[in-house]
Amino acid sequence: MMESDRMMEQGLWHGRQGASPNLADVLERVLDKGLIIAGDIKINLLDIELLTVKLRLLVASVDKAKAMGIDWWEHDPALSQPRARQLAAENARLRKRVEALETAAPESRR
């Protein structure tokens, strides 16, 4: 076994030596990368994409969520497909609105 192979198994660069990689990095790779096999699959890509969207909408860190014992999707109907899209769109709209307000507010008060 080559040295680099041992490194890969132990993930030598993930923070402390021998520490397992952080969950966000693992999820990014196994949910977002890796080969997609079309066809004979039980979970379709849309679901995976939704999981990913949901992960990105998260406002609590994984560690915090764990500490609080939150299984976020369980208590959140957002995984049903239209709702997740709605949330993402709504999120984007709200950000724009807040930005617009922050930009406009001082001038409008003069």
Contacts with other proteins, residue ranges (CB under 8 A): 1-2, 4-9, 11-14, 20-37, 39-44, 47-48, 51, 55-56, 58-63, 65-66, 70-74, 79, 102, 105-106, 109
Smallest distance from other proteins to CB 70, Å: 7
Quick one: 10 or 93, whose CB is closer to other proteins? 10
Q: Which is nearer to other proteins, 93 or 101 (CB)?
A: 101
d(CA 35, CA 28): 13
Say which amino acid occupies 18: G
Determine the Cα–Cα distance for residues 71 and 105; give it in Å rounded to an integer: 38
Q: Which is nearer to other proteins, 63 or 90 (CB)?
A: 63
Whether 52 contacts 88, CB under 8 Å: no
Instruction: Round to whole Å and give the CA distance between 60 and 76.
Output: 13
Least separation in angstroms between residue 71's CB and other proteins is 4
- Asked if residues 60 and 68 have their Cβ atoms less than 8 Å apart, the reply is yes
What does DSSP assign to residue 43? S
| Least Å from the CB of residue 78 to other proteins | 10
